Chains A and B, each alone.
Chain A
Amino acid sequence: MGAVSKTTFIRAMFICGLVLAVMILVSPGIGTQDVGIFDAWRSLFDDEPNRIHHAIAWQLRFPRTLKALVAGSALALCGAVFQTLFRNPLATPYTVGIASGASLGALICYKLHWLTTIGGISSVSIGALAGAIGVLLVVLLLARSAARVTGNTLLLAGVTIGFFCSGMMMFITSLADVSETHKTVRWLMGTLDTYGHVELTMLLPLIIPPCLLLLWFARDLNQYSVGTELAASRGVSVEKLEIASIIAGSLAVSAIVSMCGPIGFVGLIIPHLVRLGFGFDHRIVLPASLLLGGAFLIGCDFLTALAPHWYGQLTHTATTTARLPIGVMTAIVGTPVFLILLCSKRS
């Protein structure tokens, strides 16, 4: 985790950056409507562009790509940081309950129709943040009262509170009418569709600074991964690192949850894939997770549009223009990838 040469770093960033760049470049041309990659880019540069092509590619698809990019990048980055902090390969903002708390907070805002902006930030995001911080405080209090605080104690406390939040969300959903329930269930599956009034630009101040802070912690996290006492004896303020990382992660995740609902698997599998390919050094793991997380979610978003289309072609039924929820697709893609990863590690 030391001794990473510039060449290794540049090679890793080039590979991950290239994957992400390809995903972004092709994204305006992939979707349910019959507008291809060349049509999409031609509509941007032609003097007299096809207005329909332009609208589909650049007003419908590209904003989704940006959302997927931001959400996937931040979720994967937070996943990588949480796995190190909790010393557990299963730790993600979802497994430690933070995302469930954020989802509950956001859902309560939607249910109470508290849809406004405060200082340019959406009230739903503030609700999500309150939910995430609430879970964090309960988890920390529970863990502190335990005889010995370990990563596993925190994780167990987080999982338990996460289940409680899920139960509360089901309760709130059960109180809604049919149409509202449908919308809520779609949101809970994770979605890149615009739901409510939460716009990406509103959330960037809540996502970018925490992500930059987490990237800055890369060298300290390297020390942390060999033990807290060794890290402390090498000048790392362990407690500050833990608190700042968890708060920064919670902030970014709650902002994403308020926009996209809970999207699982990104924070779990991307850091594992990155570590498998590039080793354990956080100076590479964190930025590589950021880049590949965005690429992965953009790829999954392609599949949410293409899968129903392919299904229609295979079964010779009418093709649908409806998309699958992104959370469903990350699970469909993520589960086999993660299982293959587990088996390959064993062998």
Chain B
Amino acid sequence: MTTIDPAMMKVRGLQFGYTPTKPFLGPIDLDIHRRRILAVVGPNGAGKSTLLRLIAGLIQPRSGEILFADTPLNRMRLRDRARHITFLPQKPTAPASTSVMEIVSLGRHPHRRFGLFESLADKATIHRSMEQTQTTAYANRRMDTLSGGEAQRVHLAASLAQEPKILILDEPTAELDLRYQLQIFELLRELTDRENLATVVVTHDLNLARRFADDALLLSCGHVAAQGPADTVLVPETLEGVYGVTFKTSETENQTWLLAQDAVDAESSTIIDDGGTFG
């Protein structure tokens, strides 16, 4: 039986809303552990990306608290926070003519207060991050010559160069083909285990989440519909009510696959269309 480390980040009573009286997200209680991947899933507009921005410290909650190693996130200095927590947005951009090496090097920013150039230690970390993400081969290529999957690996390398303890990723496999989706999740699993990271990832692919994540948080209209181990949360019984889709499961070699069957009209609860495999 695997032991779970104490929570690295604790989220308690977290609520967020653009108007004080109407929070649209929360209340959420959450523990984020080292060496575990937490998949945040839910339909569009459920509040997944907002939750990620909150725990990354990019926006402030309306109420509740987020503790990193028992220190409130909003009391940490920006640079200190960035040394522990990194956030990769859904569609990271890069100026067209920048090289892969240049983009990865940007990850060292929180570790360099003074000095114009990267130190030898910085360079070693940059190279290690590139090796971990297998981007060394195209270190000198321009970003605008890379495929979507290659570019995503480069941004991941930049995040690793930040030497974070918590890796937060918003739909890292969006717009990638199946091979790259698998590669990215395999890489996340490997990094989480080997580098002792806590990984929080938003994804729409329930099968990838079930296969690679340890825990799952299912959001529906800003509320927690279910949370816990991924294989208990990502089951047809909990998903159907949230997604408005009927699911079937299929078993192959210790892996359970979710198959979306039919979309259900929320108003009339009638089946309106045939679906395919989810994700």
B residues near A281, Cβ cutoff 8 Å: 102
Quote the shortest CB–CB distance from A149 to chain B (angstroms).
14
**Contact across chains for A219 and B109 when beta carbons are under 8 A apart:** yes
Segment at the interface with A among B6-14, B36-44, B74-82: B74-82
User: Considering only CB atoms and an 8 Å cut-off, how many residues of chain B contact the other chain?
Assistant: 39
Instruction: Assess the B109–A223 pair: CB atoms within 8 A.
Output: yes
- Closest-CB distance, A65 to chain B (whole angstroms): 29
How far is A123 from B57 in the complex, measured between Cα atoms in Å?
45
Complex contacts, B108 vs chain A, CB 8 Å: 2
CB distance from A90 to the nearest CB of B (A): 16
Q: Per a CB cutoff under 8 Å, which of A1, A4, A222, A233 touches B85?
A: A233
- Give every chain A residue within 8 A of B123 (Cβ-Cβ): 3
| Interface presence of A227 (CB below 8 A) | yes
Q: Does A279 contact B (CB under 8 A)?
A: yes
Q: How far is the CA of A235 from the CA of B57 in the complex (A)?
A: 10
Q: Within 8 Å CB of A5, what residues of B?
A: 117
- Residues in B with CB closer than 8 Å to A219 are 109, 112, 116
Chain A residues near B78 (CB, 8 Å)?
Answer: 232, 235-237
Q: In the complex, which residue of chain A has the Cβ closest to the Cβ of B108?
A: A2
Do residues A226 and B94 form an inter-chain contact, with CB atoms below 8 A? yes
CA distance A298 to B117 in the complex (A): 31
Sorted from nearest, which 10 A-B pairs have the closest CB atoms?
A2-B105, A235-B82, A233-B87, A235-B79, A3-B105, A235-B110, A234-B109, A235-B78, A1-B102, A229-B89
How far does the alpha carbon of A170 sit from the alpha carbon of B64 in the complex, in Å? 56
Q: A280, B98: Cβ atoms under 8 Å? A: yes
6 pairs, CB–CB < 8 Å, chain A vs chain B: A230-B87, A232-B58, A233-B57, A233-B88, A235-B81, A279-B97
* Alpha-carbon separation in the docked complex, A32 to B121 (Å): 57
B218, CB-defined interface residue at 8 Å: no
Find out whether the CB atom of B162 lies under 8 angstroms from the CB atom of A2.
Answer: no
- Assess whether A181 is interfacial by the CB under 8 Å rule: no
**Interchain CA distance A239-B116 in the complex, whole Å:** 23
Of all chain A residues, the one with the shortest Cβ separation from B106 is A2
In the assembled complex, the Cα of A86 lies from the Cα of B101 at a distance in Å of 25
Neighbouring A residues of B82 by C-beta, 8 Å:
233-235
Q: In the complex, how many angstroms separate the beta carbon of B156 from the nearest chain A beta carbon?
A: 12
Contacts of A234 in B (CB 8 A): 82, 86, 106-107, 109-110, 162
Closest to B170 in A: A229
* Chain B positions within 8 Å of A1 at CB level: 95, 98, 102-103, 105-106
Is the CB of A153 closer than 8 A to any CB of chain B?
no
The one of A6, A223, A232, A237 in contact with B106, judged by C-beta atoms closer than 8 angstroms, is A223
Instruction: For the complex, count residues of A whose C-beta is within 8 A of B.
Output: 26
Give the contacts of B85-144 with A (CB-CB under 8 A).
Answer: 85-89, 92-95, 97-99, 101-110, 112, 116-118, 123, 126
**Residues on the A chain within 8 Å of B101, using CB:** 2-3
Chain A residues with CB below 8 A from B116, complex form: 9, 219, 283
Interface status of B56 (Cβ within 8 A of chain A)? yes
Q: Is the CB of B106 within 8 A of A222?
A: yes
Cα A194 to Cα B53 with chains together (Å): 54
Q: Is the CB of B98 within 8 A of A279?
A: yes
Residue of A nearest to B77 (CB): A235
Residue contact B109 to A226, C-beta cutoff 8 Å: no
Q: Identify the closest chain A residue to B161 (Cβ).
A: A2
Bound CA–CA A98/B123 (angstroms) = 41
Give bound CA distance, A222 to B95, whole Å: 10
**Docked complex Cα distance between A1 and B107 (Å):** 11
Q: Which residue of the partner chain B has the closest CB to A220?
A: B109
Q: Using a CB-CB cutoff of 8 Å, which residues 207-256 of chain A contact chain B? A: 219, 222-223, 225-227, 229-230, 232-237
CA distance A3 to B119 in the complex (A): 10
Check if B98 sits within 8 Å of A230, measured CB to CB.
no
Please, which residues of chain B bring their CB within 8 A of the CB of A9? 116-117
CA distance A225 to B58 in the complex (A): 17
Additional A-B contacts beyond A219-B109, A233-B82 (18; CB < 8 A): A1-B103, A3-B99, A5-B117, A219-B112, A219-B116, A222-B106, A222-B109, A226-B103, A229-B89, A230-B87, A230-B92, A233-B87, A234-B106, A235-B80, A235-B82, A235-B109, A280-B97, A281-B102
- Asked whether B89 lies within 8 Å of A280 as measured between CB atoms, the reply is no
Are A233 and B93 interface neighbours, CB within 8 A?
Answer: no
Chain A residue numbers with a CB within 8 Å of B104 are 2-3
Task: Tell me whether A280 and B95 are in contact (CB under 8 A).
Answer: yes
Contacts A226-B94, A234-B162, A235-B82 given; indicate if A2 touches B58 (C-beta within 8 A).
Answer: no
The residues of A that contact B58 with a CB separation of less than 8 Å are 229, 232-233
User: B-facing mask of A119-148, CB < 8 A → 1, else 0?
Assistant: 000000000000000000000000000000
Q: Would you call B109 and A225 a contact (CB within 8 A)?
A: no
Chain A residues with CB under 8 Å of B162's CB are: 234
- Residues of B contacting A279 in the complex (Cβ-Cβ under 8 angstroms): 97-98, 102
Which residues on the B side are within 8 Å of A235 (C-beta)?
78-83, 109-110
**Which residues of B are found within 8 Å of A227, using beta-carbon distances?**
89, 92-93
Query: Interface digits, A1-29 against B, CB 8 Å rule (1 contact, 0 not)?
Result: 11111100100000000000000000000
Complex: A142 Cα to B56 Cα, angstroms: 30
Q: Which residues of B contact A280 (CB under 8 A)?
A: 95, 97-98, 102
